[in-house]
Each structure stands twice: as C-alpha cells, then as structure tokens.
Amino acid sequence: MASAFSKDQLHVSQADAGAAAALVSALADLTLVIDDGAVIEEVFHNLDAQSAAGISAWRGQPIEEVVRDSSHPTLRNVLRRVRRGHDTSRFGVSHILDGRRDLPVQYAALKIGDDGKIVLAGRDLRPITELQSRLLANQQSLEQNVRNLRKAEAHYRLLFETASDAIVIIDAANGRIREANAHAAEILGLASGVALGGRKISSLFSKPQKSTVQAMLAGVLASGSPMTMVLPSGAGEPIMLTAELFRTGDLKLVLVRMSKPAEATEAATRPEIALDALVRNATEAILVTDEAGRILWANESFLALTNIPLAAHAVGRSLGDFLQWNGIDQDVLLQTLQRNGRVHNLSGTVEGANGQTIGIDLSAIVMPDGVQPGYGFVMRPNPAEGKLRDPANTDLTRAAENLVEMVGRVPMKDLVRDTTDVIEKMCIEAALNLTENNRTSAARALGLSRQSLYAKMARLGIEVPDDDDW
C-alpha cells in the first residue's frame, strides 16, 4: 500500500542532483545542474534542434559565461539565497545562443543535497515574448490607424463644412438626415445654426412635395442611378435636388446636393466650365505634364488610346513610358519645346498598357504663365495613308526602287553604302530640323559624338548656318 511522504520537499532535496534534474527535465524546457562553484555540471532540455545546437557545450562552463551581463546580478542573488536555504520566487535570465541570439528563460531554483548543488528548472519565454511583441505591434498599429482616422475625419469635416455646395447625407434605411452642412440650411431658408440631423428630408419641403421627395429617394435606391428634380422650398424659392446612392461598409447612404436652378445654370454656362468639358471630352488625346515630363493630367481619349482604365494609373509616370519619338530623345524634345514655346506635327508612337503601339501626330505647347509650369500635348492617331505620304517614307521608297534597278550593274557593297548614306542623311537632316540646327542637341538625339556628326555632315554635304547654338 502506497503512502504519502510527510515532507515531500525534503525527499526531493536529498535526492541525487542528476536524478532530480532528469526528473524535473521531463516537465521543464531547460534544466541545469549547478555546482557550488556556479559551474554547469549537467544540461537537460526539450528545445528545438536549432536552439539546442550549442547548449550541450555549456557543460563545464560557469553559468555566467552563457548568460547576458544584464542578468548576472539577478542570477548571483538567487544562487546565494538558495544556498542559504531561503525560498526564492521565479526569476528570468537571458542566455546567449551562438554568441548573438537571446534565449529568455524563466527559472525556478532548488538546492539538492548537502554538496551545494542547485537545480535550475526553466521555461522557454520566447513564445511569450514573441506574442507580447506581436501584441505590442498590433497595439501600435491600431493606435496609428486611430490617429489616421481622426486626421481623415478632421479633413472630411473641414471640406464638408466649407464646401460651396449644399450637401445633405441621408440614411437610405429610414430617410433621415445623418449630416448636413451649413450651406444646406441656408439654401433651405432655415435660420443659421438649425440642426438638421435626425430629421426626414421630406419634412423640409411643403406637404404636397413630400411624396415627390420620397419617390425620388425610392427611385435612387431601386435603380442605383442619380436622379435630379426641382422643388419649391419652404421659403417658396425653387431648389434643384440631385440625389446619388453610395455605400460605406454595409450602410447605404444617399448624397443629396441642393442648389438653386439659376445658380446651376449659370455655373454650367461659364466659359471656363465649358472649356474644361471640351478638353475632357475631346476626340484628341490630351496630356499635361510638369517640367520634368511627368504626367499631371490626362483626358479620356488618352486613356482610351493607351487602354489605361483609370487616370490615376497614368498620373505621376514619365511621358517616355507611353510616347516614343522617331530618333528623338525626350530631353531634347522638352528643351526644344521650352526654347520655342511650341512644337507642331511631330511623328511618334504611343505604346498602350497591353504592349500595342499606335502611330500618332503630336503637337505641344509650354503652359502659359499663371498655371503650374509644364507642357501640354495633343495627339492624333496617324492614319496609314498619311504614313505613305510622309516625305521620309517617299525618299526611302524611291531609294529602294533605285536600288532594285541597279542590282546586277553595281556591286552589292556599293549599293549598301549608297543606301546607308541616304538613310544617314535623312536622319541627320531630321534631327537638325527638330533642334533648329543645334548640332550638339542633334548629335545627342542621334546617339553620336559631335565629332562624328561633323564628319558625317561633311561627307554627306549637309551644311548648317554659322550661328549654330553650341
């Protein structure tokens, strides 16, 4: 019949240190047997192979050699108290793995026998430390998100209250106003400071018009398309309502803009509004770039030409990502444009998002004073018959015809040399024409040194006026 020990701790403490450590190691992650000189005699562990790779080498080393300096005071104090027979609470130390990695362990210390040996039974704290680090990172991320949301809300509130439009936001589920800016109360003829939140929008109009407003909201919810109507307000002045459905999460809201029909008509007929609409909807592809050639704005025709779904996918990118010019460097084009103020009928190629290329005729101007410095580009697709009438293509066709006629009468190497001269002359003349006889810029556009360009010009009989810009 088994009987319980009357003093369990006495029997354990009087057991052999190695046997006691082996028993404890079945429950602990790391167990160390320390002799009276604070040297490690035995090591038992249940750690993964990567962590345990260097632990077996701890045998015979002073325990302070495998512990971070910051843990030395705690370790010495615990060992001293245990040897004097005092109870100790759990304590943590940080071991050194491979001379650089940390192994945080929480130990419980027990004196075994009368020879001063101590057993340290430890728990690996890395999972807890990792979890705490992740929790801290998540907390910091949440706090940052809260700060960002507050900033966004402050920006939204500022824009909402200072907007020139009268705006009302309605909960689609019950037709009640969630938010309304100060201009909304003003255009409805209400006193300044009147709170509109919580009221039904239909209550702001005369009784005969309530059903009309409710029908408009129901139509917007059913179709998802914007609706516009003109109604008299409580003050008797007509008000134009434009309602549009939008969602935020699971919440359906209706955005209602209110304006007086006369104001809306006046705004729509302003010359600058009409011009803006003309540029946006022009059949020509239009781009606006900054002085470095980065795209600031693109109209719908350019997006269609390049198969780009959204203007945001083009804004910020370099002009050269989409446009290539026949043998002309982008920097040379922008320098010429800056010097002359405009460029007419420059042939080039547009590369679309799917890799397709389209020939274009391009004109460009420097943006006028008073607006952001940069350039405006207008592009038109270059029809196939236009390419056939191009002077360069005509010259090449004529050269090819002459080449065929001379086969059999002139050695092939002479034919190749003469044809190469024709092409070189055409390219040099085109580069000089574009750069207004600036031989330095022309050489850069052709990928030649100035000396090579001069030599080719002399050989081909190309002359340039003496007032060349160096």
Residues paired with 40 in a beta bridge: 34
Residue 349: both structure tokens together: 């190629």
Gyration radius of the chain's alpha carbons: 42
CA distance 198 to 211: 19
Q: What six digits make up the tokens of 217?
A: 């909201």
Nearest alpha-carbon partner for 382 in 351, 356, 350, 359: 359
pLDDT classification of 1: cutoffs 50, 70, 90: very low
Residue 326 pLDDT exceeds 70: no
**Residue that wins the pLDDT comparison between 48 and 414:** 48
Equal fold, 13-124 vs 391-460: no
Average of pLDDT values for 105-119?
A: 83
Domain segments of the chain as ranges: 13-124, 163-268, 272-382, 391-460
Q: In sequence order, which residues have a C-beta less than 8 Å from that of residue 462 and are 6 or more positions away?
A: 425, 428, 429, 432, 456
pLDDT, one tens digit per residue, over 363-412 is 888 888 767 788 999 988 875 433 433 444 455 555 566 666 666 666 77
User: What does the pLDDT read at residue 208?
Assistant: 74
pLDDT of residue 3: 40
Confirm or reject CATH 3.30.450.20 for domain 13-124, answering yes or no: yes
- The H-or-E segment that residue 97 falls in is strand 91-97
Could you give the percent of the chain with pLDDT greater than 90?
0
Q: Give residue 421's pLDDT.
A: 78
Q: What is the pLDDT of residues 300-323, one digit of tens each?
A: 888 888 888 777 788 888 888 888
Provide the mean pLDDT of the chain: 77
Q: 391-460: what fold? A: Arc Repressor Mutant, subunit A (1.10.10)
Q: Which residue has the higher pLDDT, 326 or 91?
A: 91
Contacting residues for 317 by C-beta, under 8 A, at least 6 apart: 294, 295
Tell me the CATH number for domain 272-382.
3.30.450.20
For residues 405 and 69, the model is more confident at 69
pLDDT band at 222 (very low <50, low <70, confident <90, very high): confident
Give the 3-state secondary structure of residue 377: strand
* pLDDT digit string, tens, across residues 253-279: 888 888 776 554 444 445 555 566 677
104 has which bridge partners? 94
* DSSP classification of residue 327: T
| Cβ neighbours of residue 419 closer than 8 Å, sequence gap 6 or more | 399, 403
User: Do residues 17 and 41 touch, judged by C-beta distance below 8 A?
Assistant: yes
In this predicted structure, what is the pLDDT of residue 264?
A: 47
Residue 93: name the closest of 30, 20, 13 by CA.
Answer: 30
Predicted confidence (pLDDT) per residue in 444-463, tens digit = 878 888 888 888 888 888 87
Question: What CATH topology corresponds to 163-268?
Answer: Beta-Lactamase (3.30.450)
Q: Tokens in use for 386?
A: 């236009």
